Amino acid sequence: MRIRTLVLAAAVAAAPVAGEEPRKAAVVPAEPPVLNWEVTLGGAGGFGVSTSDMDRAMRDSGYTPSSSGDFLSATVFPSVRLRLGEHAAVGVSFSSTKLGSTTGNGYGTSVTIRRSSTDVALVGFWRPVPGLRIGAGPAWFRLTASPDGGADLTVSKLGWIAEAGLAFPESGRWYADLAVQYRGTGTANFGTYAPPAKGPIAPAPISLDGVSCEHAAFVAGIGYRF
């Protein structure tokens, strides 16, 4: 009898009070996804390239030089970055940039040579505050001097790139990206270009060794995180 009484009391205690709703399980909010990869597609424009070496080459060969730049000439600039914790990242970028042209007048003709730079870079970044990045790393450059009407003169070499950029907003999948780069190409030895004769006077050949192609670039684009 005593055992039956205890069982009955336990059943009554376990039963919900009349009118009381069953307790609902606590809802834990889902954590936002971790978005460590950033893929950016933008455009780049070169500026700040020196023309003094090209002017000197023309002048030494007897031409009167005149140079112009291609500031903000549109070129494609894709890049990929991987966040390594809160304050570090590593990235790979590609760019192809026009570096302006130099025209030399003399010997009854004119010679125009355009320069361009293509690079692939591996850059390590420090992120001091959310969205801001500062970095540098090695780069492979393919530098080209293109005479009008002549074959391209190309040089491949290793150099370096430094970059400061801003991606905003810091959270979310889509973002805008702005950056400034300096591309340390060093000097290029393109060899000698012999312009074709266009009249009775043969134009003098032009030595294009020791030509600096270092330049800066402004980059703007749209990115996606995943």
Q: Is residue 208 part of a domain?
A: yes
d(CA 175, CA 168): 5
pLDDT above 90: percentage of residues in the chain: 65
Query: Taking the model in full, what pTM does it have?
Result: 0.81
> For 145-165, what is each residue's pLDDT tens digit?
999 989 999 999 999 999 999
Q: Is residue 24 part of a domain?
A: no
**Model confidence at 25: pLDDT above 80:** no
Q: Is residue 139 part of a domain?
A: yes
CATH number of the domain within which 125 lies: 2.40.160.20
d(CA 50, CA 67): 10
Supply the range of the domain harboring residue 120.
34-225
**Model confidence at 28: pLDDT above 90:** no
Locate all alpha helices (DSSP H) within 15-144, ordered by sequence: 52-60
The count of structural domains within the chain is: 1
Q: Is residue 206 part of a domain?
A: yes
Q: Is residue 20 part of a domain?
A: no
Minimum mean pLDDT among 4-13, 84-93, 183-192, 201-210: which range? 4-13
Q: Is 13 helix (H, G, I), strand (E, B) or coil?
A: helix
Q: Which residue has the higher pLDDT, 60 or 26?
A: 60
Locate all alpha helices (DSSP H) within 43-125, ordered by sequence: 52-60
Q: Is residue 22 part of a domain?
A: no
> For 94-106, what is each residue's pLDDT tens digit?
999 888 899 999 9
Q: Is residue 140 part of a domain?
A: yes
Q: What are the CA-CA distances from residue 121 to residues 38, 90, 221 (Å)?
A: 16, 11, 17
122: Cβ contacts below 8 Å, ≥ 6 apart: 90, 91, 92, 137, 138, 139
Q: Is residue 213 part of a domain?
A: yes
- Give me the chain's average pLDDT, please: 87
Mean pLDDT of 105-123: 95
**Model confidence at 134: pLDDT above 60:** yes
**Model confidence at 18: pLDDT above 60:** no
